[in-house]
Amino acid sequence: MTEALSTANMKGILTDVTLCIGCERCVEGCTQVNKLPDELPKKRLYLGDGLSGRRLTTILRIPGTRETVRKHCLHCLEPACAAACLVGAFTKRPDGPVVYDASKCIGCRYCMLACPFNIPRYEWESLLPYVRKCKMNEECRVEGGMPVCVSACPTGATIFGNRDDLIKEARRRFKAKPGKYLEHIYGEHEFGGTSVLFISDVPIGKLLGFPAEDELQKIAQPNLAESSIPRMNEPWVKFTPVWAAGIFTGLWGVWLLRRRSLLMKGGPADHGPHGAAPAPVTAGIDQVCQEKPSRPDEAGGK
């Protein structure tokens, strides 16, 4: 059963797009702390957003503007990747990060299909490939407890702290500079909420994968504006055993009625393949011995 974690002690990241200068210091810091190659991945290995098994955070240009925004794992409050994982390789920690245990991974890549933001990537060039994504845990923290990407930002475009406090800070900025921002906190509610939040003066939802209300109406899923995918799928998963039992019972009932009908018509009770030829009837040894051998003249011989 899907249970939402309390956000009281949950950490997160708030990115202010108006302060991002596209310097890629965050990308450089992430690359160094995770010991990733410096070079960009080959184009055939990623979806055009710069993320891959060797690049866990990237800077995107916002279409129609000169502004940039960072893209990385959003660490959903109720992650679809964790719900889809068959072996529990993904888990959501109470303090915020969605962590990945490579020792449990079987390489099915269901997490890549389930993530609504297309974040998890596969190490296609590795002989022993794993899924890779932003960690936001102790492995990428620097002195002071901040993630290295946040610490490396020269303009303070990204800040780290308690998720509830970050939401209050975002609203404080809206109030302090009315008209500067779109008064919407990306990640506060979409898909059940995320630990990584964004505020911006231009629309960034389509670029980062946050659905607009009209898009959700088109696919008849308006609840995704505030509900997570695992929570919406929960009733279907919950009653799967009941439906399976119903289907089995129905098929057994059809077989029973068909068998009863055949018996009433005097047909064979055998349940072999439909249209199969009946088994050949062979003569017993007593019957063969009682038959008289035919003479040559009776058979037309000389």
Radius of gyration of the chain (CA): 32
Q: pLDDT (tens digit, 9 = 90+) per residue, 37-62?
A: 766 555 555 567 889 888 999 999 99
Give the integer Cα–Cα distance in Å for 100 and 133.
8
- Position 1 confidence tier, pLDDT thresholds 50, 70, 90: very low
What percentage of the chain exceeds 90 in pLDDT? 55
Q: pLDDT (tens digit, 9 = 90+) per residue, 161-204?
A: 999 999 999 999 999 999 999 999 999 998 889 999 999 999 99
Question: What's 11-227's CATH class?
Answer: alpha beta
Q: What's the pTM?
A: 0.74
229-238 vs 240-264: helix crossing angle, rounded to 10: 30
Q: What are the structural domain ranges in the chain?
A: 11-227, 235-268
Helix (H, G, I), strand (E, B) or coil at 91: strand
Confidence check: pLDDT of 298 > 90: no
Residue 230's alpha-carbon distances to 48, 76, 114, in angstroms, are: 27, 11, 10
CB 173 within 8 A of CB 20: no
Give the integer Cα–Cα distance in Å for 134 and 53.
10
Highest mean pLDDT of the ranges 176-180, 228-232, 247-251, 283-287: 176-180
